[in-house]
Amino acid sequence: MTTAHSIRQARPGDEPHIARFIRDLARYERLEHQLDLSEARLTVHLFGDSPVCSALLVEHDGQPVGFALFFTSYSTFWCKPCLFLEDLYVDPEYRGHGYGLALLRALAAEAIERDCPRLDWHVLDWNQLAIDFYERQGATVLADWRTCRFEGDALRNMASPPAT
């Protein structure tokens, strides 16, 4: 397989591809049971009046084979917007040929173009292949930061005032 590829911004009509990548990623990460995936919501969130995220697609012979979904975060220390990579996924048969690296490079270029001081993302601690890949590219895997999360009942409980 050659490594000829192209990378482009997602556009309306790409939602089925992005949804498939998200499903495949969730399956790979053993989190498929957490999916509440909606192409209609993807349309609104990616292309609506107030988009909350963006995506890049990598194509091989004109067919999408991977994606990177990202959004703007903010650094109070830098007083600048940053980019946060939510998901990076390449179809298994296209891994090892530079497609993931091409997506990372394109996203880094996007961060530079937006004057972002950093690009952040999470990686599961058991995903040593991904950790090794990111470290080979010069990324620092931060051992001293942990992701905290409220979701579901915990989120609703936190949002509700305590009973008096």
Residue among 89, 94, 99, 134 flagged as catalytic: 134
**Is this prediction's pTM over 0.85?**
yes
**What pLDDT was estimated at residue 1?**
54
What does the DSSP 8-state code read for residue 106?
H
Q: Which CATH architecture has domain 6-159?
A: 3-Layer(aba) Sandwich (3.40)
**DSSP E strands, the chain:** 6-9, 54-60, 63-75, 80-90, 119-121
Structure tokens at 24: 């495949």
Our answer to whether residue 99 is catalytic in this structure is no
Distance, CA of 126 to CA of 41 (rounded, Å): 30
Ordered by start, the domain boundaries in the chain are: 6-159
Among candidates 59, 65, 62, which has minimal Cα distance to 20?
Answer: 65
What does the DSSP 8-state code read for residue 161?
P
Q: For the chain (length 164 residues), average pLDDT per consecutive 10? A: 82 98 96 97 98 98 97 97 97 95 96 96 92 93 88 91 78
